[in-house]
Copies of this chain bind each other. A is one copy, B any other.
Amino acid sequence: MALDNDTLKELYRNMVTVRLLEKRVERLVTAARIPCSGHFGTGQEAVGVGICGPLRSDDYLFGTHRGFAEYIGKGMAPAEILCEYYGKATSLSRGRLGQHLLKVDVGIMPLPSSLGSEFGMSVGAALSSKLRRSGQVTVNLFGEGTAGQADFGPALEMASLWQLPLVFVCNNNQYVELAHYRNVVATEDIAPRAGGYGVPYEIVDGNDITLVYDATERAVSRARNGEGPMLLEFKTYRRGTHYTGDPGGYQPREEIAAWEKKDPIDRCRDRMMAEGFWAETDEQAMRETIEAEIEAAVQFAEESPYPDPATVTENIYAQGGDKS
């Protein structure tokens, strides 16, 4: 299935939503309206949004700590994200999760606070769907720094050994916290590591959402057809700092500028306009709608109550157990 115009418009809309929502949340964090720090992904929205394009709603996604791209892409609403960040009773987790976004009914699976702890879990989710013959695919998104974590190799090994419907996606944004990734990553590319485990891989421009979509679509159909795992490495760039408390300064200005020219949102809009199915008026209308949605979401989150402290002991253990 090639990427059709309507789908591209939706992906585009998602990218813009991510960009605007991240900027808005950044202001809220800085203003201490939101109690956590924020990790944003300006410039890399095409990866998280694009990989969700070819997914079914019951496919599993293990996302990252950076920004909202894959969460918006997989079907979380701005209000849901905001209520989690505010820690309000109206959030899906009733204030328990904060940045660790989760929405089980659209397949958004746990984001562990410990980077890399999702590798084993994503193997388990993929194994589960294989054993249940459900046709679901699991996508495990992670940063190039996280590829250094211990369970990365074992997850590739298990996925390969058992030919699991599991797509590993490395979001290589070239920075690991406050240092260039080559400071702590031994190789230019992560992807060939998959080859060592017999897992096929591709390295793709992560700032072109059509390429992201297409590569993911290939990997996902392979996986769904029982042809086993793949690893995709998307090359992109984190234009902002690591997190809201990071003053930055270690990313060369020219480097940032060069990547600004490759902005995935601009590129997508330019292409849609050049191909004639997007106009300045569409753009303006869309931005207004998104901004209104975000403002409504902020207001909803602001006005929502905090959870009742008495709820703090609820659901520590699942009650009752197996009922069958």
Which A residues contact B (CB, under 8 angstroms)? 148-154, 156-158, 160-161, 184-187, 192-199
* Selected contact of A157 from candidates B186, B194, B197, CB within 8 Å: B186
- Interchain nearest-CB distance for A229 vs B (Å): 10
A236 to chain B, nearest CB (A): 21
How many Å lie between the Cα of A286 and that of B196 in the bound state?
44
Distance between Cα atoms of A156 and B149 in the complex (Å): 12
- In the complex, the chain B residue whose C-beta lies closest to that of A197 is B186
Chain B residues lying within 8 Å of A160, measured Cβ to Cβ, are: 186-187
Which chain B positions have C-beta within 8 A of A194?
A: 196
CA–CA, A28 and B194, complex, Å: 45
Q: Which of B154, B185, B195 contacts A192 (CB 8 A)?
A: B195
Measured in the bound complex, the distance between the Cα atoms of B154 and A193 in whole Å is 12
26 A-B residue pairings within 8 Å (CB atoms): A148-B157, A149-B154, A150-B150, A150-B151, A150-B153, A150-B154, A152-B153, A153-B153, A157-B185, A158-B186, A160-B186, A160-B187, A161-B186, A186-B198, A186-B199, A187-B196, A187-B197, A187-B198, A192-B195, A192-B196, A193-B193, A193-B196, A193-B197, A194-B196, A195-B196, A196-B196
How far does the Cβ of A86 sit from chain B's closest Cβ, in whole Å? Answer: 36
Q: Report how far A152 CA is from B197 CA in the complex, Å.
A: 13
- Residues on B with C-beta less than 8 A from A187 are 160, 196-198
B148 touches A154 (CB 8 A): yes
Contacts A150-B154, A158-B186, A187-B196 supplied; 9 other A-B pairs, CB < 8 Å: A150-B153, A153-B153, A153-B193, A156-B186, A157-B186, A160-B187, A161-B184, A193-B193, A193-B197
Contacts of A151 in B (CB 8 A): 150
Task: Give bound CA distance, A152 to B154, whole Å.
Answer: 9
Q: Which residues of B lie under 8 Å from residue A186 when comparing CB positions?
A: 156-158, 160-161, 197-199
- Contact partners of A154 in chain B: CB under 8 A: 148-150
A66 smallest CB distance to B (angstroms): 21
How distant is the Cα of A194 from the Cα of B192 in the complex, in angstroms?
10
Q: A161 CA to B197 CA in the complex, in Å?
A: 21
Closest to A188 in B: B198
Bound complex: CA of A315 vs CA of B195, how far in Å?
A: 47
Q: 8 tightest CB-CB pairs across the interface, nearest first? A: A193-B196, A150-B150, A160-B186, A153-B153, A196-B196, A161-B186, A187-B198, A186-B198
CA distance A194 to B186 in the complex (A): 11
Which B residues are CB-close (under 8 A) to A199?
186
Inside 8 A of A192's CB, which chain B residues have their CB? 195-196
| Nearest neighbor of A159 in chain B, beta-carbon distance | B186
- Chain B's nearest CB lies how many Å from the CB of A204? 18
Q: Residues of B contacting A156 with CB < 8 Å?
A: 186
